[in-house]
Structures are given as C-alpha cells and as structure tokens.
Amino acid sequence: MQLRALRRLTLAVFVFVFGLAATPASLSGQGSSFNPALPLTHVDNGPNSAWAQRQHYLILVSLDGFRWDYAKRENATHLLALGKRGVWAPEGMMPSYPSLTFPNHFTIVTGLYPEHHGIVANSFLDAARGARYSYTEPQTATDGSWYSGVPIWSLAESHGMRTACMLWPGSEAKIAGFRPSYYAQFDAKTQSTPEAQQARIDDTVALLHLAAEDRPHFIAIYFSEPDHEGHEFGPDARETRAAELKMDAIIGRLEVALKGTALPIDVVIVSDHGMVKSEGDWINLDQFADLTGFEVTGALLYGKTEEDRARVYEQLKHATSQFMVFRLKNVPANLNFNSNAREGDPVVVATGPYALRAHAPPAGSADHPPQTGMHGFDPHILPEMKASFFAAGPDLAQGKTVGPFDNVNLYPWMAHMLGLDPAKNDGSLNILAGTLRDNGVAPQK
Ligand SMILES: [Zn+2]
C-alpha cells in the first residue's frame, strides 16, 4: 500500500505549503528555522482542533542507555536542576524486560509491556506470520502491522491534536490508524552527527513556532547516546562519561530554546535502560542443548514441536548457573514475558551480565567478542539496567522525587498532562499522580 492518501510531503513541500498558509515570519527568523540536518516528513492529519489548541505541550526526550545513576555520578547540572525544579527518580525507573531499546521505547509511548505491544526484542521471529522483525530493517520497523497498542502520538492525533516524532522507535510506522503529523526518518549514518543532534532542537523550536492550528502539542525526541559509547567502552569509561555530559549539555540547550517559545511546555526526560560491563566470552546455548530444528534469533529459541521444546528445556535446565530456563508460560510473572509466541519457548534468562546466543556464527564467517557494555537483562537481578526519569513543567509538582516505578506508568501520566483519555494499557495513573500539580484528579481538560 502506498501513501498517496496520506498526502505525505517532503520538508521542502511542507515549508512551501505552510509558507503560503502561515505568515513567513512563523517559519524563519532566529531559532525557528527547520534544520536540514534532520528533514521532517509531514503527514496532513488536519489542523489542531479548538480543544487541542487549548492544551499544554509535552516534549518527551529519550537518551538511549542513560543509566539511572549517570546524572548524579557526573553531576549533570542541567538534568539535576530540571529534576529538582520538577520531579525525578533518584533511584531510577524500572525498564520493562527485556531491557532493550525498541521494546522499551515502545512501552514508554504505549504503556504496554513488550509482550502486549508485540515488540518483544529488537529482533524476533513471528512463526505464525512466517516472518522476522528487525529494528534495523526499515521494511519491518516502518510496518505498523508488527506493532500493537495505541502510541501516545496516535492517541493524540485521533483526538485532533497534532504531534511530532524525531527518530522515536516505531514512529515511522502507521500504528492505530495514524502516523505523527511530523516525523523524521532514521538514518544510522547521519543521526548522531552534531548537526543532526542540534537539528532535533532547531526543528522542535521551528515546529513550536508554527501557527497554533499546525503546531504539535506532543513532540518525542530520540538520541542514541550515551548507549553507543556505553557498549563500545563500558559504562565507566572516559568516553561514556564524556557522552553523558554532552547529552546533559544538549538538554540545557533544549531548555533554553523551549523557554524562548514562551509556551506552557512540560519536559520529560527518560532513558530506555541502563548499561553494565559484560563478563566473560559468548555463551553458546548449543553447547548445552541440541537445537536442531529450532529457529533462533540471538538467544531467543523457537521450537517447532512440543517435543523439541520440552527436550531443549530439559537439556538447558541444569546446564549452568549463568542462566535460567523456563517454558514460556512459566516465566516469572514479574518479567511480564510469558504470553507471546514471539518470545520463543523455552525462554532463557541470564543471571548476570553474560552474553548469551543460540549459536556461534558458522565456521568461516566473522565472529566478534561480546560488547564491553551490555543491557537487555532483568532489572530485578541487575539494577544497572535501571533507566533515568526527570520532568518539569506547568503540570508538574515542584521538588518531588519518586521511587523506582515501572515505565508502563508513563503513558497514562503523559496522557493526563495532555488532557487525553489513555487507551487500554498496563500502567496506572495512581503511580505517578503525586507528581502532578492536580494530583491526577482534575477532570479532563
Ligand atoms: Zn544499546
């Protein structure tokens, strides 16, 4: 299916169209020009409704792999000041299992555990569909049929409220009937350049300078650092620590830029997961079990017959103390990872920072040692997996802290700030209600 009906336009056309509709001043001038380093695609979902125009604005920023304790450790002044002015989680936020990038970003915007929104890993098999999903494969990552739930941008768009996403995982797909009104396309080669990082700020400000009927009220922004450095050098390395401070400086610049708009903006800064130094070499599951007939993706195991699944479960059960193995339906409830066939069966869960995979690459093809820093682990076993949470703005209490909470609770909380009725989700507004100025009890705006 192609997108003619959506009237998908390039940035150039977008500027042209709005240039005619809006006053030229709204698209130029200091701090309000779109930055070509991160081109935005416009989907014409119509103007903001009169109701939407009366609502506040919410900017959601993710710093990939920004571990819960990094801000304190580096004395990240902008993040800490934002948290002290508003609310923050000094002991971190609990990521959903597995503590990986795509599952958690989509949990944050849907309030659903990965097994309920369907992105159970960065890459996985859907045997019933006979296809594999991979976050690096645009064909699947931008195909909405892989995703369940109602991301907050689709929720807002369905209520006549315009939204924008800059590289948020899942935001290039049409999900629950909508794409964001404005979105950027992920390009691994260019997305982390200083120009593209600055462009997230410039484009946000430019969007907020659009006329009130076109201006997005929800903007999600994704940054891939300091995850990259954490993997390559480890969470404690000089390079990773420098990346943490660089991201803190970007948050500082974003705040100054937002202040210049004089709009009522709630700013929410989160990360998807933490980082831990990995231990030891690869653990290949096929050294303990005969995986003949299994399809595999990483350490996910897809047995074709009940006999195969039961056999491999028995073979892995007492193999080593470095992982636990469960039949899918018996995975402990606190992992919320026992009801979706995409999770495989049996399910292997590491008991420490160990690099698990089904097989080594075939003889003759290149192998590489495990990355220095890793994530994906159970945050109840490895607290290094905990994520960051800071927020401040007109809808938020001042000077409040919260204990570690599951990231599914962000969705009903953000929906409340935007005046939206959340779609069905796994979170509860009660968990974060105390961080809201209205304690979460005000009638819908
Ligand atoms: Zn990562």
Could you list which residues have their CB under 5 Å from ion ligand 1?
Answer: 227
pLDDT tens per residue across span 153-165: 999 999 999 999 9
Residue 240 token pair: 């990773």
**Ligand 1 centroid distance, CA of 272 (Å):** 9
**Ligand 1 centroid distance, CA of 95 (Å):** 13
Q: In the predicted model, is pLDDT for residue 198 greater than 90?
A: yes
Residue 39 banded pLDDT, cuts 50, 70, 90: very high
Residue span(s) of the chain under CATH 3.40.720.10 come to 16-119+146-276+387-435
**Ligand 1 centroid distance, CA of 336 (Å):** 21
**Ligand 1 centroid distance, CA of 229 (Å):** 9
**Ligand 1 centroid distance, CA of 224 (Å):** 8
Q: What is the pLDDT of residue 307?
A: 97
Contact 398, 81 (CB under 8 A): no
Residue type, 93: M
pLDDT tens per residue across span 64-103: 999 999 999 999 999 999 999 999 999 999 999 999 999 9
**Ligand 1 centroid distance, CA of 232 (Å):** 10
The residue written with tokens 């954490």 in the block is 230
Bridge partner list, 9:
42
**Ligand 1 centroid distance, CA of 221 (Å):** 17
**Ligand 1 centroid distance, CA of 234 (Å):** 11
Report the topology of domain 16-119+146-276+387-435: Alkaline Phosphatase, subunit A (3.40.720)
Average pLDDT taken over every residue of the chain? 93
The 10 Å Cβ neighbour count of residue 255 is 20
**Ligand 1 centroid distance, CA of 12 (Å):** 33
**Ligand 1 centroid distance, CA of 93 (Å):** 17
Q: What is the pLDDT of residue 22?
A: 32
* pTM for this prediction: 0.93
Q: In the predicted model, is pLDDT for residue 272 greater than 90?
A: yes
**Ligand 1 centroid distance, CA of 227 (Å):** 5
Residue span(s) of the chain under CATH 3.30.1360.180 come to 279-370
Q: What is the pLDDT of residue 442?
A: 72
**Ligand 1 centroid distance, CA of 391 (Å):** 23
* 429, 432, 433, 435 alpha-carbon torsion, rounded to 10°: -150
Cα distance between residue 167 and residue 38, in whole Å: 10
Contact 124, 132 (CB under 8 A): yes
Per the model's pLDDT, the better-predicted residue between 11 and 404 turns out to be 404
pLDDT tens per residue across span 274-284: 999 999 999 99
* Closest of 39, 40, 38, 43 to residue 8, by C-alpha: 43
Q: What is the pLDDT of residue 443?
A: 60
**Ligand 1 centroid distance, CA of 45 (Å):** 33
Q: In the predicted model, is pLDDT for residue 17 greater than 50?
A: no
**Ligand 1 centroid distance, CA of 231 (Å):** 6
Residue 131 token pair: 């296809």
Per the model's pLDDT, the better-predicted residue between 130 and 16 turns out to be 130
**Ligand 1 centroid distance, CA of 342 (Å):** 21
**Ligand 1 centroid distance, CA of 71 (Å):** 18
Contact 142, 121 (CB under 8 A): no
What CATH architecture does domain 279-370 belong to? 2-Layer Sandwich (3.30)
Handedness of CA 343, 349, 352, 358 (dihedral sign): negative
Q: In the predicted model, is pLDDT for residue 401 greater than 80?
A: yes
Residue 380 token pair: 């109840």
Q: What is the pLDDT of residue 145?
A: 98
Residue 63 banded pLDDT, cuts 50, 70, 90: very high
Ranges 20-29, 37-46, 86-95, 111-120: which has the least confidence: 20-29
* Closest of 283, 325, 327, 321 to residue 309, by C-alpha: 327
